[in-house]
Amino acid sequence: MNAEATPAAPRDYSRFLERRSFIEMRARERARAVLDPGSFRELLGPFDRIKSPWLPLQGIVAQADDGVVLARGTLDGRPALVAAIESAFQGGSTGEVSGAKIAGALELACRDCEQGRPVLPVLLLETGGVRLQEANLGLAAIAEIHAAIVALRRHVPVVGVVAGMVGCFGGMSLAAALCSRLVVTRQARIGMNGPEVIEQEAGIAELDATDRALIWSLIGGEQRWAVGLADDLEEDDAESIAAAVRRAFASGTPPALPRTVLIERYRERLAAIDPRQPLDGKTLRLLWNEPP
Amino acid sequence: METIRLDYPAEHTVPRRVHVGVVGSGDLEVLLEPSQDNQAHVLVNTSVDGFGVAWKNVLDRFFARFQCAVSIEINDFGATPGTVMLRLEQAAEAARA
């Protein structure tokens, strides 16, 4: 290629190269990356061996922390709690134990808040939803997580992060929606049913689960942010995400009206959509466009 | 799913416990702790049945050099012997560091 044909646009690769990918981190590293340096202190860690009693009964190897890392630490010096889901273990699925770890931690944080000791809660959500092998017990734990988020967000913002690449699905997508503020990357996906499930149930004419561009145009992080269902769109960079989490708390008291109580707003929006007409991500952005 | 237990003689101690890895596809987690009885004990929980000889070979080779009194628990999700050895070396390095 000759030099004159190439636009003289110097590209700044240094930022890209210096970036620390948050997506590539395991749950424990993610929790460390979000908290103030050196403040990470794990609760119910792998050596406590609080793991699933159900998986071995079904011939599946359990993980010593059941795929959830709970950590206390600080955010800009203020006491914080991080619950990070490990997506590499059973797709980040929420079982009885892993769900109870998250719910119990949020309930304790709520009790601290009620007693005048605010704790800043952060959920690093990377999960396919309920762990099917633990069925109703996992679902019950997810309901407890929902209730704990609703109770806690009256005191402090509950900040969720969906970074990818698993995304956040099923009952845990409701947990993401309940958060006071939600941070996403372009790589994230948030939805009730995953694309494969929709294709399997409704047919390939409804949704082609192999069409990545289509999937991300519907449930990708950027789309969710553009239609007002997520609050911050960040690069896949640990520093950017840690900064977005801090900004979410710095914005002060929790929003007076979380999205999930604006039932009439969303009911009207849904009523305005004709399900017989095809709807794509771009059109939804026009219909639901709201200032971020 | 299969459980394998192996014991080895030991000469040294390690100062701390270490956790590395994840029970993800083709990977494993290793929990390494100092043991109190001057021996090394290994407990392997593996998702793949019938590879007891391969596990013994990998662990024999590892403990030929790492002669420390430790209790090791391995939760394996189909890791290859090479990956198992890398995770063990990673844990050993972190325990001695």
- Tell me the ipTM for this assembly: 0.94
d(CA A240, CA A139): 33
Looking at residue A2, what is its pLDDT?
A: 44
Rounded mean pLDDT of A210-236?
95
- Cis-peptide, bond into residue B85, ω within 30° of zero: no
d(CA A24, CA A182): 20
Residue A251: pLDDT over 80: no
Helix, strand or coil, per DSSP, at residue A261: helix
Q: Which two tokens stand for residue B6?
A: 């192996």
Positions of E strands within A76-210: 78-85, 120-124, 159-162, 168-169, 181-185, 190-191
d(CA A52, CA A96): 7
d(CA A221, CA A189): 5
The per-residue pLDDT string of chain B (97 residues; one tens digit each, 9 = 90 and over) reads 999 999 999 999 999 999 999 999 999 999 999 999 999 999 999 999 999 999 999 999 999 999 999 999 999 999 999 999 999 999 999 998 8
CB of B47 closer than 8 Å to CB of B77: yes
Q: What digits encode the pLDDT tens for the residues A15-27?
A: 778 899 999 999 9
Of A61, A88, A89, the CB nearest to B45: A61
Rounded mean pLDDT of A208-233?
95
A42 DSSP β-pair partners: A71
Q: With bands split at pLDDT 50, 70 and 90, how would you rate the model's confidence at A252? A: low
Q: What digits encode the pLDDT tens for the residues A107-123?
A: 999 999 999 999 999 99
Residue A233: pLDDT over 90: yes
Q: What digits encode the pLDDT tens for the residues A146-194?
A: 999 999 999 999 999 999 999 999 999 999 999 999 999 999 999 999 9
Looking at residue A290, what is its pLDDT?
A: 63
Backbone dihedral region of A175: left (phi > 0), alpha (psi from -120 to 50 degrees) or beta?
alpha
Q: In chain A, which residues touch B (CB < 8 A)?
A: 26, 45-47, 56, 59-64, 86, 88-90
Please tell me the distance in Å from A248's CA to the nearest CA on chain B.
30
CB of A219 closer than 8 Å to CB of A189: yes
Q: What are phi and psi of A9, to 5 degrees?
A: -105, 100
Q: In chain B, which residues touch A (CB < 8 A)?
A: 1, 17, 19, 22-25, 27, 29, 31, 33, 45-47, 73, 75-77
CA A70 from centroid of its chain's CA atoms: 15
